[in-house]
């Protein structure tokens, strides 16, 4: 069996990398990959097939004479991860992937820090560059649906040292997100008067659910996200409708709210002068980064999507509408219904089950019954974001082990016959042990530390995505190619990625300033490291890898960048013909349909 798998893997590799192949359509690659896929034997019992499914998929060794970059490209391109995600899975991952405790609970910290107007400014500015990031990622993910997604792109298009730091940064962020979400769950169950001694039991329950979901592989992840995302989307839409009614005075108390919370004595901003208000808005960027974290998951899922060419562009474009509807509108209503001075908000006094600004908004205006339901949704969000963190980080770990950024003896590149990265999943679930801090009296401090660490981590991830897109476009031009050969070209183009890189770099610098000199206190070492620890860690990993490899180049020269290995389509002439045909077909459609397809 092993020899036949090796032969099929060799054929698969040839089908991906050989540009002049006679059978050059996507069908060849899909046919070979379907042959490589393991299927249960009818001659064996269910238990025998179940146990055999955990055995490792063995692939042929890579030619040792190839360069490091070439080995990484081939290994990540021929990954045995299963392509089980369908369009409906990716659409729901795109719609609900970033809706979690960062919005439902963490937004309260932003509101108390910057006020209702400061929150909107911070989230809107963050949204402008995040849209550029996701569209650039969509372009790369369609062309290169490889293991590791955006962190693999950093290795190939930017530099191996940058890819090393980006890989560890993302794993670090996802590993922290898991206990962070479970700590949030322990806070939420307090709403129903759950004794503190039972908090660990709820943490264990949530971990068990995540383990079961991931045992079903990528299809289990996709189906779970459909359910989780549907619940979250319905809840947010319901809150928006309820919020509009309450603002207009349709609540049980019958009071017209309007813009009361934006006026004296509350105020639209926090701070006594312009400088202080500017600092509070800068601090919102990090909270917004934590809330938006997860938008890049559509690119990660491309390697396990049946038809990324169709589903990934649509999912990437939906980021604009998702942010507009789920974040900006809902946060506008929260700012109208909740005072930024409310002592129940995170940052004003303490953290408990009522810290969610959405729950506070309902309680303040006489809506009692729905608060319990909303807290149930927060618990579901915990499972969703925890599930996404495990999914994303496990795939990155596989890519890192394949790339040599994690030692081979760790076996983190172990993928079984059902396409599950077992060793990586076990390591990540082990991080869930840290969530048992929920029983501690210091859980609010833990929440604040983890929130800050993961927020800045997301900034580095997005910077790496946009920089990879810039380097890919430069490589195309340097090698005499152009965007006409791309299945999907980001509507924001090359300049959108330049804009996102510039904005992220500016925010990281400004965050250094506000971390060192907070608006409401003197310089504080504890506050600085609490808010900015991941930046020096990223720099040290980057420089450490440079020194170890003795690689002093900042970027891989554009003419040397590998833009062939792992590409889904192998015949450029056929590709261009199909794109021209699609454009001609689109030209026959009405203007409103073309407009809809451009944005959605």
pLDDT tens string 549-585: 888 888 889 998 888 877 765 567 777 777 788 778 8
Residue 332, domain member (yes or no): yes
230: domain CATH number is: 1.20.1740.10
pLDDT tens string 341-382: 888 786 544 445 457 888 888 888 888 778 888 888 888 887
Structure token pair of residue 358: 């959405």
Residue 514, domain member (yes or no): yes
Residue 298, domain member (yes or no): yes
CB neighbour list of residue 476: distance below 8 Å, 6 or more residues apart: 482, 483, 563
Domain boundaries, position 436:
79-569
The strand pairing partners of 305, in sequence order, are 85
Residue 592, domain member (yes or no): no
Identify which of 104, 233, 174 has the alpha carbon closest to the alpha carbon of residue 386: 174
- Structure pTM? 0.81
Residue 485, domain member (yes or no): yes
Q: Where are the beta strands (DSSP E) in 409-474?
A: none
pLDDT value for 65:
60
| Torsion angle of C-alpha atoms 493, 495, 500, 501, degrees rounded to 10 | 120
pLDDT value for 418:
74
Residue 205, domain member (yes or no): yes
What is the distance between the alpha carbons of residues 329 and 53, in angstroms, rounded to a whole number? 46
CB neighbour list of residue 212: distance below 8 Å, 6 or more residues apart: none
pLDDT value for 74:
56
DSSP state string for 12-45: HHHHHH-TT-SS-SHHHHHHHHHHHS----TTS-
How many domains, in total, are found in the chain? 1
What is the distance between the alpha carbons of residues 533 and 527, in angstroms, rounded to a whole number? 10
- SS3 assignment, position 85: strand
CB 182 within 8 A of CB 207: yes
Residue 45, domain member (yes or no): no
pLDDT under 70 in the chain at which residues?
1-98, 146-149, 187, 299-308, 346-354, 437-455, 568-571, 599-600
At 355, phi and psi to the nearest 5? -75, -15
Residue 461, domain member (yes or no): yes
What's the chain's length in residues? 600
């Amino acid at each position: 069996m092993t020899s036949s798998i090796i032969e099929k893997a060799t054929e698969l590799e040839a089908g991906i990398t050989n540009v002049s192949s006679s059978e050059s359509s996507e069908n060849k690659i899909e046919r070979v990959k379907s042959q490589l896929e393991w299927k249960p034997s009818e001659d064996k019992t269910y238990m025998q097939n179940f146990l055999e499914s955990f055995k490792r998929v063995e692939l042929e060794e890579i030619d040792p004479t190839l360069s490091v970059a070439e080995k990484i490209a081939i290994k990540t391109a021929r990954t045995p991860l299963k392509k089980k995600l369908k369009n409906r899975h990716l659409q729901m991952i795109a719609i609900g992937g970033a809706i979690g405790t960062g919005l439902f609970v963490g937004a309260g910290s932003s509101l108390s820090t910057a006020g209702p107007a400061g929150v909107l400014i911070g989230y809107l500015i963050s949204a402008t560059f995040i849209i550029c990031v996701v569209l650039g990622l969509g372009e790369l993910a369609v062309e290169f649906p490889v293991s590791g997604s955006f962190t693999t792109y950093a290795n190939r298009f930017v530099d191996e040292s940058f890819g090393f730091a980006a890989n560890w940064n993302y794993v670090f962020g996802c590993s922290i997100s898991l206990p962070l979400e479970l700590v949030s769950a322990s806070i939420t169950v307090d709403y129903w008067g759950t004794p503190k001694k039972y908090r660990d039991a709820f943490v264990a329950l949530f971990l068990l659910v995540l383990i079961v979901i991931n045992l079903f592989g990528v299809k289990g992840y996709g189906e779970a996200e459909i359910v989780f995302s549907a619940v979250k989307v319905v809840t947010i839409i319901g809150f928006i409708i309820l919020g509009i009614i309450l603002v207009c005075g349709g609540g049980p108390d019958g009071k017209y709210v309007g813009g009361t919370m934006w006026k004296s004595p509350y105020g639209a901003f926090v701070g006594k002068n312009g400088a202080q208000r500017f600092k509070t808005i800068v601090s919102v960027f990090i909270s917004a980064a934590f809330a938006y974290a997860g938008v890049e998951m559509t690119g990660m899922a491309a390697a396990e999507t049946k038809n990324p060419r169709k589903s990934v562009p649509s999912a990437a474009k939906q980021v604009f509408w998702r942010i507009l509807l789920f974040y900006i509108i809902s946060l506008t209503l929260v700012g109208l219904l909740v005072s930024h001075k409310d002592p129940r908000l995170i940052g004003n006094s303490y953290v408990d089950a009522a810290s969610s600004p959405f729950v506070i908004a309902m309680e303040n205006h006489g809506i009692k019954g729905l608060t319990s339901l909303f807290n149930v949704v927060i618990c579901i969000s915990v499972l969703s974001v925890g599930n996404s963190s495990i999914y994303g980080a496990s795939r990155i770990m596989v890519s890192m082990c394949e790339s040599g950024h994690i030692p081979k003896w760790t076996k983190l590149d172990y993928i079984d016959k059902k396409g599950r990265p077992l060793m990586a999943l076990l390591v990540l679930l082990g991080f869930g042990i840290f969530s048992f801090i929920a029983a501690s009296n210091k859980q609010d401090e833990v929440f604040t530390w983890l929130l800050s660490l993961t927020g800045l981590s997301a900034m580095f991830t997005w910077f790496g995505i946009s920089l990879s897109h810039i380097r890919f476009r430069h490589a195309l031009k340097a090698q005499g190619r152009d965007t006409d050969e791309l299945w999907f070209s980001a509507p924001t183009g090359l300049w959108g990625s330049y804009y996102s890189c510039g904005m992220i770099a500016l925010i990281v610098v400004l965050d250094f300033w506000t971390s060192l000199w907070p608006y409401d206190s003197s310089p504080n070492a504890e506050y600085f490291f609490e808010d900015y620890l991941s930046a020096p860690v990223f720099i040290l990993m980057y420089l450490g890898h440079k020194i170890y490899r003795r690689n002093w180049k900042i970027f891989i020269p554009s003419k040397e960048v590998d833009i062939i290995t792992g590409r889904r389509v192998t015949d450029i002439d056929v590709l261009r013909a199909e794109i021209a045909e699609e454009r001609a077909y689109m030209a026959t459609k009405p203007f409103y349909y073309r407009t809809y397809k451009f944005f959605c």
